[in-house]
Structure 1
Amino acid sequence: MLAVLGTAVLVAGAERGPRLPVAVTLVLVQVCALRWQVRAPVLVLAANAAAGLVVWALLPAVSLTGALLAAQVGLCVLSATGSRRASLWALAAMCLPAPLAFGAGGGPGLTVYLLAVVLAWTGGQWRRALQARARAEARRAVVEERARIAREVHDVVAHTLSVMVIQAGAADDVFTERPDQARQALRAIETGAREALDELRLLLRAFRPDMEADGPEGQRGPGPSLARLDELADTLRATGMAVRVHREGETVGLPAAVDLAAYRIVQEALTNTLRHATGADEVSVRVTADGASVKVTVIDNGRTVQVGSRGMGAGRGLVGMKERARLVGGSLHAGALPGGGFEVAARLPVERAS
């Protein structure tokens, strides 16, 4: 901007009078003032507008639009960073010299000046809109990340604690008469607690990369995956629940998001069976992969009840499972079966998550 205004001043000041050094000094003042534009936009805009009018008065050959170029930059910044009311007042103030532009250049001069002022204000509004959109996206990303953390923690803690509660109750029932069975239940509680702690540590490492220095890569256990489905089933078998796992197709090499979502859906469905399925003593898990999608079905033989009475409708269970399926482009259905029992069925596309 200094080069443009300086060139215009030098070209217009051919008479080499004392006005030229004053005009050049004012141009330098305008440029230097822009450094404080963000800190004091209104003050800098007013100073640059006044200096620009003086430059134009000293050298009328310079267009009013060129003389007020620094003020137009200030108007753009104020429109982008200041309040809307202040920017509108500044726009109105910048339109006041319009008669001077008309007197100096007629209709074309007036058109060019008003167009430059309006474009400067509009450019600031466009920048403001971009900033607002970026802030909204950042807030949405934070909310989504918090929801993801809540789902992960819920999946880990709810499943493990449910199993531990069942095991603790079983140990208490047989503590005196069958101490060996009580010890077995207590060992299962210890094993489940250790696995939950390990999984929570992995979860914290995923959310805090700086924690990776806590140990070498080789010391970390495998994360949640369909490959660990048998381990998940074993935790329920330890409570006396009969769990059958059926696999069709190849699940190795699935996209990480699909693999994790499928595992968590099965885990949540089993947890709800353990906690809310009245009379259930058998559950079937079927995983079918055909290359295009992964289908997960969990069916128990509990009594036919409404979804809400299983603690899923009002809690995080069903909502969390549906949200996991949706995030990878899939769908999930859950409901009571006509002949008794409860079914959770999810279809997760592979191609979209790749």
Structure 2
Amino acid sequence: MPLLGLTPGVRLVALLASLTVPDRFEATLSPRWRTVLVGCALALLAPVVLLTPDGVPASAGRAALIALIAVQAGAVWWMGERPGVVTAVELVAGAGVQFLAPEIGPGIALVVVSTFAWLRPARESLWGAVAALVLTTVPPWASGHGRGTLLWAAAALLAWSWGALGRSRSARRAAEARRVVLEERARIARELHDILAHTVSVMVVQAAAADDVFDANPARARQALRDLESSGRRALTEVRRFLRTVRALEPEPDADAFAPQPGLADLDVLTRPLAAAGLDVRLHAEGLDDRTLPAGVQLSAYRIVQESLTNVLRHARARTADITLDATGRHLVVEVRDDGGGRPSGAGGGQGIAGMRERAALAGGSLDAGPDPAGGFRVRALLPLEETS
């Protein structure tokens, strides 16, 4: 068991933490486990009926012992719905069993206490440990069998702590699983935002341009509509590619699930429709021909440029945008400047810049965005490069 590998100090810290830290973990007891508990209870308690109870007439004592055993075995079935009530019943019945047959202890009461500590937060189940401590020590003294008192007291505390530690470990595993799910959701949302926001913004500008010249210059309007169709097709292609990438996590992915993600070589295709939308985009690259950049760095740089240009279209009212890529050092420097109005980073109320910062951080880099002292707006990202052998 993993709990056996913990040192006493670590166990103590975990127990104290379980008593002080808010516990929102929801533990449940499946019908299968309840059936197993009932079966184990009957198997463990069945031999007890053959014992002769102490201090009472044999026939009456055996009948009382059988009744208490039946109560303990039957009550376990409702452990999932009423854990507190069942634990109290088990402890009282266990005290009776221990009084009549001290050599076998409180029956399955300590197993139930451990299960109770796993089902409920430590602060709620602590009374079970105290009650078990009292009810496993008083009956032996009352019946004149006090030699095993310390042993049963230690067993009661161990049973509760074992359940509480098991709950703490299950809660950590559930929290970690939830964190992984939330991170994956955030990644999917970020990718979809990067894929769609840019193309949809370009399509809106192209549609507006077609509407402006529809009567005065039908040929130009027709060209804008063709560009609009091409942008829509590119968006569909990127969405399909992304969905195939997601499906690649399945046991049997599609044959083309591992299609390459966009990289720096695709920036020309990305910026070409922007000229028709009225934005002059100039690309400056240095050091890209001398080395092979990791695919993950290229994808991050591509998405940062894509989102930056989307913001230029939506918020800046700019005429030109300059993209600078510099891979001559240990980092890939990605810089996008425009000559617009120097919008604040929160313009539009979206999550674009926050998403770019997250993307840069996931790549081990950083990103700054804000008004450029020389005018306009600037986005600058530093993405670490892995040297290729």
TM over 0.5: yes
Shift of 1:81: 0.8
Shift of 1:231: 1.3
Q: Deviations over 1:15-64 (max 9, x none)?
A: xx98899979977986786566445534554554455444434444x2xx
Q: Deviations over 1:183-241 (max 9, x none)?
A: 2221111100011112122333444569998x953498643333322211223233342
**Of residues 235, 252, 258 in structure 1, which corresponds to 2:273?**
235
Normalised to the residue count of structure 1, the TM-score between the two structures is 0.76
For 2:299, the equivalent position in structure 1 comes to 260
| Structure 2 stretches lacking a partner, 5+ long | 1-39, 53-57
Instruction: Measure the CA separation in 2 of the matches of 1:135 and 1:116.
Output: 28
Shift of 1:177: 4.1
Shift of 1:263: 1.5
Deviates more, 1:329-338 or 1:261-270: 329-338
Shift of 1:132: 3.0
Contact between 2:363 and 2:383, CA under 8 Å: does it hold in 1?
yes
2:312 matches 1:273: yes
SS at match of 2:327: strand
Question: 1:6-85 residue pairs with structure 2 within 5 A?
Answer: 37-42=79-84, 44-46=86-88, 48-50=90-92, 52-60=94-102, 62=103, 67-68=105-106, 70-82=108-120
Give percent identity, aligned residues only: 40
2:218 matches 1:179: yes
Shift of 1:160: 0.9
Shift of 1:328: 2.6
The residue type equivalent to 1:323 in the other structure is E
Q: Deviations over 1:89-114 (max 9, x none)?
A: 433332332233456565x7433322
User: In the superposition, relative to structure 1, how do residues 337 and 39 fare at CA in structure 2: closer, same or farther (>3 Å)?
Assistant: closer
User: In the superposition, relative to structure 1, how do residues 111 and 342 fare at CA in structure 2: closer, same or farther (>3 Å)?
Assistant: same
Instruction: Measure the CA separation in 2 of the matches of 1:164 and 1:109.
Output: 82
Question: 1:331-342 residue pairs with structure 2 within 5 A?
Answer: 331-342=366-377
Instruction: Measure the CA separation in 1 of the matches of 2:120 and 2:254.
Output: 50
2:251 matches 1:217: no
Deviates more, 1:184-193 or 1:91-100: 91-100
User: In the superposition, relative to structure 1, how do residues 350 and 24 fare at CA in structure 2: closer, same or farther (>3 Å)?
Assistant: farther
SS at match of 2:382: strand
SS at match of 1:175: coil
Deviates more, 1:83-92 or 1:225-234: 83-92
For 2:354, the equivalent position in structure 1 comes to 319
SS at match of 1:217: coil
| Equivalences, count | 339
User: In the superposition, relative to structure 1, how do residues 279 and 297 fare at CA in structure 2: closer, same or farther (>3 Å)?
Assistant: closer
User: In the superposition, relative to structure 1, how do residues 308 and 295 fare at CA in structure 2: closer, same or farther (>3 Å)?
Assistant: closer
Shift of 1:121: 1.7
User: In the superposition, relative to structure 1, how do residues 69 and 333 fare at CA in structure 2: closer, same or farther (>3 Å)?
Assistant: farther
Q: Deviations over 1:229-277 (max 9, x none)?
A: 2211223233342322414236746153x33322211101111122222
Normalised to the residue count of structure 2, the TM-score between the two structures is 0.70
SS at match of 1:294: strand
**Of residues 327, 333, 337 in structure 2, which corresponds to 1:295?**
333
Instruction: Measure the CA separation in 2 of the matches of 1:44 and 1:251.
Output: 69
SS at match of 1:96: helix
2:151 matches 1:112: yes
Contact between 1:205 and 1:211, CA under 8 Å: does it hold in 2?
no
Instruction: Measure the CA separation in 2 of the matches of 1:193 and 1:251.
Output: 33
What is the RMSD computed on CA atoms of the aligned residues?
Answer: 4.1
Q: Deviations over 1:109-144 (max 9, x none)?
A: 433322221222222222232333334334433433
Shift of 1:294: 2.9
SS at match of 1:246: strand
User: In the superposition, relative to structure 1, how do residues 294 and 192 fare at CA in structure 2: closer, same or farther (>3 Å)?
Assistant: same
The residue type equivalent to 2:237 in the other structure is D
